[in-house]
Structure 1
Amino acid sequence: MAAARHGAFHPLRVTAVEPLTDDSVAVTLAVPPELREDFRHHPGQHLSLRRVLDGAEIRRTYSICGPASGPGGPGPETLRVGVRLVDGGAFSTYALKELTTGDTVEVMAPAGRFTLAPRPGHFAAVVGGSGITPVLSIVSTLLAREPEAHFTLIRSDRTTASTMFLDEVADLKDRYPDRLQLVQTLSREEQQAGPASGRLDERRLTELLPALLRVADVDGWFLCGPHGLVEAAERALRGLGVPRDRVHQEIFHVAEAPAAQPPGGPVPAPSHSTVTAKLDGRAGSWPVRDGESLLETVLRNRADAPYACKGGVCGTCRAFLVSGEVRMDRNFALEEEEVDAGYVLACQSHPVTEQVELDFDR
């Protein structure tokens, strides 16, 4: 079967909308037989969902929370994502208050590199709030497929009532009592057992992690949730001597902040610049308007260019920089190895040279 086109959306029928907490739901989508290969996913990947409201297109990404299909078998019959209400969030408000069984949602094929292919070893995650969603897929897939794998899951939530997928995680702990270590922390509620209440900052994590497990023996760390928690966990792990290539991060939301400035100050933009982009085997070249990101330039000419958040967080618009130089305003999606290999986020990239070439197909 041919690979799924990058920016293509497919209508999927909603088969369930299940309340998880007062401000979150799990949405289940049916995948028709002809699309099951396109929607085969790796544990930890996400979906981009789209709706049109008052003539404006809204796109949001939500992580798949169910286990991934086994290799060689048919693709998934259903996909389940977790949605948490965001203040003023147009899509999350719709999902919690209007979306119902029988509705249709437009969905892009799975994407994302915050993944773990099942293999023997000891893995660990530090998650906060809705950051449990992709990790739930990772843990459930890993423990089901690989009997020699162990996982330590450290969760941070405000209260027990606000904890997403509480029952699902408890079921996993009951199913794999010797291979899943679960540590729950609450920032606004006291617990009878477990760590003291309070936020998981760098200091607490530096003390807590070595008390829970042999940090040096962990084969991979997965950090997901609010920007502050992920940064704190990354600093704590770095301070504990964990190699950078063992730490993987995914951030769901980052508050608006000024664009990062390169060392030595801003790089002047060329007076005229052209971007050449290859997408789904077809290439084109177009002039970049003043102040435009490269994604905006491509979208003016190729409406099927892949994107979701446009904030440098989801990584949907990842492209390979074939030639030329660009300046990225923000990057919360690509790991250092990807940047070093030549990948950029088109939504955050601005030309530094007169000619820039991108390849979305690599």
Structure 2
Amino acid sequence: MFHPLRVSAIERITDDAVAVTFAVPPALRETFRHTPGQHLNVRYGAGGEEIRRSYSICAPAAEQPNPPELRVGIRMVDGGVFSTYALKELTVGDEVEAMPPMGRFVLRPRPGHFAAIVGGSGITPVLSIAATLLAREPEARFCLIRSDRTAASTMFLDEVADLKDRYPDRFQLVTALSREEQAAGLTSGRLDRERLGGLLPALVSVPDVAGWFLCGPFGLVREAERALRTLGVERALIHQEIFHVADEKTAAPTAARVTAPAESKLTATLDGRSGSWPVQDGESLLETVLRGRSDAPYACKGGVCGTCRAFLVSGEVRMNRNFALEPEETEAGFVLACQSHPLTPEVEIDFDR
């Protein structure tokens, strides 16, 4: 369910990015209280079309009785309707419709040593994770390895520097610029598997890290995961969130091609109510549900955000892309409705699980 939120502040943080803060009415404070790492799904009407996008919350998570702080980072994307609107038209006082915070790329504060490898705007959820963890857990430590094109394009420089000043003994920061030399830190260049494989053991005791958080473009996240797996890190300790997939053809493996049935019926449960609809030729399960239920959850429709996650109750489906679900989720029977197509005459999914 979407709720109108008023913009209370807009801050330009780079030439092509802004931080937008939303005021949360008292009646919605618990609805919009977030776990560090979660994101907001927002929607905007443009040219008669509804545009939905997901933006991670960068503010620390507030505990009761403090009101939640909703601040998101938005970077301009070529051809991006909402990002163009946010950077060029959105003003303080405007209202934006948003769903309550969601997402499973989270860290609930606890003692331990944690680390993150991020690229570009991938810093956004990790900033909330690190700031909340260090503030609440005096026995926690955090290592942040971040990659950006140039110093001028680096989002949230001041906020990260503040963490370093506030927690000098518990917050470790390593920066890499892919297109610019820097006076201190790593030499320029991409953080690929080989480079990370040599760098990480020099920075942290890899076996002692209780959780790794990888966020950013698909290429960086893939290389970081491969480096960690080579170093012996268990898959369960690696958490991922993809912000951008450049090449749809090679970005992720697809399921084996199986001939779809000539006709298929989809049954879906959402908010306690079930309905059934015929699946039209070429439709995803999400598109089928939206014909009967306009309130079906979705944002990116690209297999990245995970908003349309549903449990496959019965039947078989093919997922074209999956950059949101962890292996244990797919093994447990969860699918992305926006990327799933029926392989059996009848399919049933449940959005409520």
Give your verdict on TM over 0.5: yes
CA distance in structure 2 between the aligned counterparts of 1:33 and 1:77, rounded to whole angstroms: 10
Taking the TM superposition and a 5 Å limit, the aligned residue runs for 1:184-223 are: 184-223=175-214
Match of 1:5 in 2: none
Q: Post-superposition shift, 1:322?
A: 0.9
Q: Post-superposition shift, 1:36?
A: 1.1
Is this contact kept in 1: 2:41–2:52, CA < 8 A? yes
Residue 358, structure 1, aligned to residue 345, structure 2:
no
**Regions of 4+ moved over 3 Å:** 74-78, 258-261
Taking the TM superposition and a 5 Å limit, the aligned residue runs for 1:188-337 are: 188-258=179-249, 260-263=253-256, 266-337=257-328
Instruction: Give me the CA root mean square deviation.
Output: 1.1
Amino acid at match of 1:254: V
CA distance in structure 2 between the aligned counterparts of 1:67 and 1:359, rounded to whole angstroms: 32
Is this contact kept in 1: 2:254–2:321, CA < 8 A? no
In structure 2, do the counterparts of structure 1 residues 76 and 354 end up closer, same or farther at CA, with 3 Å as the change threshold? farther
CA distance in structure 2 between the aligned counterparts of 1:229 and 1:142, rounded to whole angstroms: 24
Cα distance per residue 1:173-201 (max 9 Å; x no partner): 11111110111111112112111111111
Match of 1:27 in 2: 20
Is this contact kept in 1: 2:254–2:319, CA < 8 A? no
Amino acid at match of 1:29: F
Is this contact kept in 2: 1:39–1:76, CA < 8 A? no
Gaps of 5+ in 1: 1-7
Q: Post-superposition shift, 1:253?
A: 1.6
Match of 1:18 in 2: 11
Cα distance per residue 1:32-90 (max 9 Å; x no partner): 111111111110000011110010111110000001122xx147443100000011111
Q: Post-superposition shift, 1:220?
A: 0.4
Is this contact kept in 1: 2:8–2:92, CA < 8 A? yes
CA distance in structure 1 between the aligned counterparts of 2:289 and 2:330, rounded to whole angstroms: 21
In structure 2, do the counterparts of structure 1 residues 108 and 167 end up closer, same or farther at CA, with 3 Å as the change threshold? same
CA distance in structure 2 between the aligned counterparts of 1:319 and 1:26, rounded to whole angstroms: 31
Is this contact kept in 2: 1:37–1:75, CA < 8 A? no
Is this contact kept in 2: 1:36–1:74, CA < 8 A? no
CA distance in structure 2 between the aligned counterparts of 1:27 and 1:262, rounded to whole angstroms: 39
In structure 2, do the counterparts of structure 1 residues 75 and 335 end up closer, same or farther at CA, with 3 Å as the change threshold? farther
CA distance in structure 2 between the aligned counterparts of 1:277 and 1:314, rounded to whole angstroms: 20
CA distance in structure 2 between the aligned counterparts of 1:126 and 1:231, rounded to whole angstroms: 11
Taking the TM superposition and a 5 Å limit, the aligned residue runs for 1:41-120 are: 41-70=34-63, 73-74=64-65, 76-120=67-111
Aligned length: 351
In structure 2, do the counterparts of structure 1 residues 322 and 40 end up closer, same or farther at CA, with 3 Å as the change threshold? same
Match of 2:29 in 1: 36
Amino acid at match of 1:47: L
Q: Post-superposition shift, 1:227?
A: 0.8
In structure 2, do the counterparts of structure 1 residues 359 and 74 end up closer, same or farther at CA, with 3 Å as the change threshold? farther
Is this contact kept in 2: 1:32–1:77, CA < 8 A? no
Match of 2:119 in 1: 128
Is this contact kept in 2: 1:315–1:334, CA < 8 A? yes
Q: TM-score, normalised by structure 1?
A: 0.95
Q: Post-superposition shift, 1:261?
A: 3.9
- Where 2:244 maps in the other structure, the secondary structure is coil
- Where 2:147 maps in the other structure, the secondary structure is strand
Cα distance per residue 1:329-357 (max 9 Å; x no partner): 00000000000111100000001111111
In structure 2, do the counterparts of structure 1 residues 138 and 228 end up closer, same or farther at CA, with 3 Å as the change threshold? same
CA distance in structure 2 between the aligned counterparts of 1:261 and 1:336, rounded to whole angstroms: 14
Taking the TM superposition and a 5 Å limit, the aligned residue runs for 1:172-187 are: 172-187=163-178
Amino acid at match of 1:131: G
Is this contact kept in 1: 2:62–2:68, CA < 8 A? no
Amino acid at match of 1:300: R
Calculate percent identity across the aligned residue pairs: 74
Amino acid at match of 2:150: T
Gaps of 5+ in 2: none
Q: TM-score, normalised by structure 2?
A: 0.97
